[in-house]
Structure 1
Amino acid sequence: MKDAGLTTWIDQMGNIHGRYERSNSTDNALLIGSHMDTVIDAGMYDGALGIVCAISALKVLKVTGKLERLTRPVEVIAFSDEEGVKFQTTFLGSAAVAGILPESILQVSDKSGTTVEDVLKLNSFKATAAALGQVKYSPESVGSYVEVHLEQGPVLEALRYPLGVVKGIAGQTRLKVIVDGSQGHAGTVPMKLRRDPMVAAAELVVTLESLCKEPSRFLTYDEECGCFTEESLAGLVCTVGELLTWPSASNVIPGQVNFTVDIRAMDDVVRETIVASFSRIVMQRCDDRLVDCAVEHKHSAPATPCDAELTTQLELATRSAVSAMTPPSIGGGQRRAEPTPVLMSGAGHDAMAMARLTKVGMVFVRCRGGVSHSPEEHVAEDDVWAAGLALLRFVDQTVVAEL
Structure 2
Amino acid sequence: MPSPSAINRFYNSSNLIPCVFPLFRVVFLLLSLSSAASSTHISGGPQDDLFPEILRDEAVARLYELGKVSDGDGFLERTFLSPASIRAGNLIRTWMEDAGLTTWVDGLGNVHGRVEPPHASNKALLIGSHLDTVVDAGMFDGALGIICAISALKVLNMTGRSTNLQHPVEVIAFSDEEGVRFQSTFLGSAAIAGVLPNSTLHVSDKSGLTVQNVLKHNSIDTSEENLSQIKYDPDSVLGYIEVHIEQGPVLESVGVPLAVVKGIAGQTRLKVRVRGSQGHAGTVPMSMRRDPMTAAAELIVLLESLCKRPHDFISSDGQCNAFSLDSLVCTVGQIDTWPSASNVIPGQVSFTIDIRSMDDMGREAIIYELSNQMHRICDGRLVSCFLERKHDADAVSCDGGLNSQLKSAAYAALKRMTGEDIGDVPVLMSGAGHDAMAMSRLTKVGMLFVRCRGGISHSPEEYVLEDDVWTAGLAIQAFLDTNL
Q: Same fold (TM over 0.5)?
A: yes
Cα deviations by residue, 1:291-336 (Å, 9 ceiling, x for unpaired): 011000000000000000111111111011111111xxxxxxx311
SS at match of 2:207: coil
Fraction of identical pairs, as percent: 65
Distance in 1 (alpha carbons) for counterparts of 2:283 and 2:329: 40
Paired position in structure 1 for 2:353: 261
Counting only pairs closer than 5 Å after superposition, residues 303-342 of structure 1 correspond to structure 2 as: 303-326=395-418, 334-342=419-427
Q: CA deviation at 1:221?
A: 6.8
Cα distance in 1 for partners of 2:347, 2:273 equals: 11
Cα offset, 1:5, TM superposition: 1.1
Aligned residues: 389
Residue in structure 2 matching 1:70, options 162, 165, 172: 165
Aligned to 1:283, the other structure's residue is in SS state: helix
User: Aligned pair in 2 of structure 1 residues 342, 212: CA closer, same or farther (>3 Å)?
Assistant: same
Contact 2:264 2:397 in 1 (8 A): yes
Q: How does 1:104-123 map to 2 (within 5 A)?
A: 104-123=199-218
1:111 deviation in Å? 2.0
Question: 5+ residue gaps in structure 2?
Answer: 1-95
The one of 379, 383, 387 equivalent to 2:464 is 379
- Kindly tell me: are residues 265 and 221 of structure 1, through their superposed partners in 2, closer, same or farther at Cα, counting changes over 3 Å? farther
SS of the residue 2:322 aligns to: coil
Q: Which is bigger in relative contact order (C-alpha 8 A, separation at least 6)?
A: 1
Provide the rounded CA distance (Å) in 2 between the counterparts of 1:251 and 1:225. Answer: 45
Structure 1 CA distance for aligned equivalents of residues 155 and 226 of structure 2: 34
Q: Which residue, 437, 443, 462 being the options, matches 1:352?
A: 437
Q: Residue 238 of structure 2: SS of its match in structure 1? A: strand
How far the C-alpha of 1:261 sits from its partner, in A, is: 0.2
Aligned partner letter, 2:379: D
**Equivalent-residue separation in structure 1 for 2:183 and 2:292 (angstroms):** 22
Shift in Å at residue 22 of structure 1?
Answer: 2.6
Specify the alignment match of 1:294 in structure 2: 386
> 3-state SS of the aligned residue for 2:247?
coil
Where 2:401 maps in the other structure, the secondary structure is helix
- Cα–Cα, structure 1 residues 153 and 297, in superposed 2: closer, same or farther, change >3 Å? same
Of 187, 190, 195, 1:95 maps to: 190
Equivalent residue for 1:393?
478
Q: How far, CA to CA, are the matches of 1:76 and 1:305 in structure 2?
A: 22
Q: Which has the higher helix share?
A: 2
Q: Give 1:282's aligned residue.
A: 374
Is contact 1:148-1:365 (8 Å) kept?
Answer: yes
Residues 13-52 of structure 1 correspond to what in structure 2 (within 5 A)?
A: 13-52=108-147
Distance 1:60 1:396 in 2: 11
Runs (5+) with no aligned partner, structure 1:
327-333
Distance in 2 separating the partners of 1:130 and 1:77: 23
Q: Cα offset for 1:277?
A: 1.0
Contact 1:221 1:227 in 2 (8 A): no
Cα displacement (A) at 1:337: 1.4
Match of 2:452 in 1: 367
Residue 112 of structure 1: CA displacement?
A: 2.4
TM-aligned CA distance change 1:96 to 1:386, over 3 Å: same
Work out the CA distance in 2 between the residues paired with 1:157 and 1:225. Answer: 34
Q: Is 1:252 aligned with 2:344?
A: yes
Q: Does the Cα contact within 8 Å between 1:170 and 1:347 map onto a contact in 2? A: yes
**Structure 1 residue 4: Cα displacement:** 1.1
Residue from 33, 55, 60 that aligns with 2:150: 55
How far the C-alpha of 1:223 sits from its partner, in A, is: 5.9
Q: CA–CA distance in 1 between the matches of 2:446 and 2:326?
A: 22
The amino acid of 1:304's aligned partner reads V
Aligned-residue CA RMSD in angstroms? 1.1
Residue type at the aligned position of 1:339: D
Give, in whole Å, the separation in 1 of the partners of 2:285 and 2:169.
68
**Paired position in structure 1 for 2:40:** none
Structure 2 counterparts to residues 187-266 of structure 1, below 5 A = 187-220=282-315, 226-228=321-323, 232-266=324-358
Q: Which amino acid aligns with 2:401?
A: E
The Cα offsets for residues 42-91 of structure 1, whole Å up to 9 and x where unpaired, read as 01000000000100000010111101111011000000111000110100
Residues 198-245 of structure 1, C-alpha deviations (whole Å, 9 max, x = no match): 0000000011010000111111176668423xxx11210000000000
What is the alpha-carbon distance in structure 1 between the residues aligned to residue 259 and residue 316 of structure 2?
34
Match of 1:168, SS state, is: strand
Residue 130 of structure 1, CA deviation: 2.9
Q: Do the aligned residues in 2 keep the contact of 1:153 with 1:369 (CA within 8 Å)? A: yes
Structure 1 CA distance for aligned equivalents of residues 118 and 411 of structure 2 = 33
The letter for the 2-side match of 1:89 is: S
User: 2:84 maps to what in 1?
Assistant: none
Match of 1:183 among 268, 278, 283: 278
Partner of 2:63: none
Deviation at 1:133, TM superposition (A): 1.4
Name 2:231's counterpart in structure 1.
136
8 Å CA contact retained: 1:30, 1:75: yes
User: What is the CA–CA distance in structure 1 between the aligned matches of 2:336 and 2:319, rounded to whole Å?
Assistant: 41
The superposition leaves residues 77-108 of structure 1 with CA deviations (integer Å, 9 ceiling, x where unpaired) of: 00011100011010000000001111111111
1:331 is matched with none
SS of corresponding position for 1:82: coil
In structure 2, the CA distance between the partners of 1:35 and 1:288, relative to structure 1 (3 Å rule), is same
